[in-house]
Amino acid sequence: MLAAATALILPASAAAPKGEPFGTANGKPVEVFTLTNHKGLKLRAMTYGAIVLSLETPDRDGKSADVVLGYKTLDEYIKDTPYFGAVVGRVGNRIAKGKFTLDDKTYTLALNNDPGGIKCSLHGGLKGFDKVVWQGEGVEKDGVQGVKFHYLSKDGEEGYPGNLDVTVIYWLTDDNEWKIDYSATTDKATPVNVTQHSYFNLKGEGNGDILDHEITFKASRFTPVDAGLIPTGRLQPVEGTPFDFTTPHKVGERVNAEDEQLKFGGGYDHNWVLDNQSGGLALAAVVHEPTTGRTMEILTTEPGLQFYCGNFLDGQLTGKSGKPYNHRNALVFETQHYPDSPNQPTFPSIILKPGKTMKSTTVYRFGLKSGK
Ligand code: GLA
């Protein structure tokens, strides 16, 4: 009797979401899952690339907007995307010259990126985790909806050693958190650095640039890069540089400053060394958009945060509501280990060994701030 009564008052979103058809990629059916919480947030994600298609959150007047960039159809994602909403891996970010040595063996990866005319491997290679069809399953825990994505990256895929079994779960909690749990195991030692590549605009996707977004990073150092956007190996204090976000600053305030690092990146496209290096979940960043009042806090167990401010967007791509995505129309916050880790002996290691499990959690938490 009691159980029946409880079932009656349970809100609809307490059930595990069901996958719905969203087309075909790589000859396989693709499904989309819709997660809702009880506070008006809604997240849609598909099995192709574990891509987040949309994320709706209310502003300070209760008006919802979709705060991530993306396309309307699967075919547009297949055709051309700068990793909109995707999970990137096996190794997110850059590997110098597409080469690394592990246990005396040198591995060669595809060279799919060339900032400053210098070739490297970016975001897992030609067909990384963003371009494969994952297995999707709707899940539910304590009234919170989620979607669990699973992918087996075969030994040798994109040049990497070992069968890597990867699980990524997205949750949408009633604390207005999009929570991501990553885990992976392997049967041969391999580098792993999986992250999420959503492009945020807290004014709503397609609603102009992000230069007035105010950000704070819990990071007193960053990893400066060379002209090919590969870290020099130094951990440089941010103090006195345009990279100092230890107190809130608008993105546009210093993004065009005379600075060699900003020149290399065409703006911010760098990895910050988070103050929290404990491996426990801690606040990494706070983002505030003054006109809508939307805020986003980022918490992570990862030691680094790549902040990219959409420098390569140039109006060529048209988004889901028909508006072009112009220069600096979005912010990307990739929680991760540092770029080029396999070639940087002083950086925290990304080598996963058989018998061990890689575990990582990141939270994007949405809120509101009153006043301007
Ligand atoms: C990451 C990189 C950027 C760029 C984008 C995708 O954020 O750091 O340089 O390649 O991905 O366009």
The number of C-alpha atoms within 13 Å of 54 and in the hemisphere containing its C-beta is 22
Residue 161: predicted pLDDT: 98
pTM of the full structure: 0.95
Rounded Cα–Cα distance for residues 338 and 281 (Å): 17
Dihedral angle over CA of 342, 234, 308, 48, nearest 10:
10
Give me the residue spans of the domains in the chain. 3-207+304-368
Of all residues in the chain, the percent with pLDDT exceeding 90 is 95
User: What does the pLDDT read at residue 14?
Assistant: 75
Per-residue model confidence (pLDDT) at position 370:
84
Site residues for ligand 1, CB cut-off 6 Å: 82-83, 122, 269, 306, 308, 312, 332, 334
> Which residues are CB-neighbours of 345 under 8 A, at least 6 positions away?
none
The reply, when asked if residue 113 is annotated as ligand binding, is no
The distance in angstroms from the start CA to the end CA of the chain is 51
Banded model confidence at residue 2, pLDDT cuts 50, 70, 90? very low
> Taking 50 as the threshold, does the pLDDT of residue 3 lie above it?
no
CATH (residue range 3-207+304-368): 2.70.98.10
Cα atoms in the Cβ-side hemisphere of radius 13 Å centred on 107: 23
94 is in an annotated binding site: yes
Report residue 240 as tokens: 């006195």
Q: 121-156, pLDDT tens digit by residue? A: 999 999 999 999 999 999 999 999 999 999 999 999
Q: pLDDT per residue over 172-216, tens digit each?
A: 999 999 999 999 999 999 999 999 999 999 999 999 999 999 999
Q: How far apart are CA 182 and CA 167, in angstroms?
A: 6
Arithmetic mean of pLDDT, 256-262:
98
Pocket test for ligand 1, best of 113, 123, 268, 335 (most atoms within 8 A of CB): 123
Q: To test ligand 1's pocket by mutation, which of 199, 332, 335, 336 has the most ligand atoms within 8 angstroms of CB?
A: 332
Instruction: Name beta bridge partners: 297.
Output: 286, 365
Per-residue pLDDT, 352: 98
Q: How many residues does the chain have?
A: 372
Q: Is 76 a catalytic residue?
A: no
60 is in an annotated binding site: no
Secondary structure letter of residue 74 according to DSSP: H
pLDDT grade, residue 12 (50/70/90)?
very low
